[in-house]
Amino acid sequence: MKLPAWLWLSALPLPGLAKVAQPGATEVRRYCIEVAGIRVGTMTATRQAPVGPDVTYALVSDVKVNFLFYHLKIYYQVTNRFRNGQLLLSTVEAHTNQGDFASKAEWKGDHYDIVADQYKHHYRATETQPIRYAVTNMFFGEPTGQARAFAEYFGDYFALSHSTASTYHATRDGREDEYQYTNGQLVTIIKKNPLKNFIIRLLP
């Protein structure tokens, strides 16, 4: 069966709170992914300890679904490198049962060259405005004051809105994801779709 387009982004027990990282330490957030109450994968977000003005974020998702005639396998990795708060390089690798795909956004001094070649999504663009906030950042604090987040997989943006206390919505082209925070920590992501929602929960 073909992969549903809604699944792609840029990846269970009750959610717990991640430990507060010490200054200079690498921060890691680990999540379980479930569909219809069944655990189907894992997601790990990492923010490496800063090296001078550089900070690197990584997001790895590993999903395997086998429901009757529906089979899905995705290994997805995002790496974002920021310098002085600006994205310099974003790479996405996706290995699936439908093939291998990639996206890349690279700062060239006065613009980004953006190329996204993903499943049923092909995009080319030049962006002159510095990118300072991406989806990976959302795993390490609420997107307070952010109107949008760079969607690494698509090569463009999710619009962000704040609905209730500590709940945010990321929307793009009819797609909607819900991000829920507790005490500033991302504890649940709901990837909404007409069939079954994917629920991503922070592990204790």
The reported pLDDT for the residue numbered 4 is 41
Q: Could you read off the pLDDT of 31-51 as tens digits, one per residue?
A: 999 988 899 999 999 999 999
Of 128, 116, 111, 127, whose CA–CA distance to 155 is shortest? 116
The reported pLDDT for the residue numbered 148 is 97
- Stretches in the chain below the pLDDT threshold 70: 1-24
Domain coordinates of the chain in residue numbers? 5-202
| pTM for the model | 0.85
Question: What DSSP letter does each residue of 160-185 carry, written as one string?
Answer: EEEEETTEEEEEETTEEEEEEEETTE
Say if CB 131 and CB 105 are below 8 A apart: yes
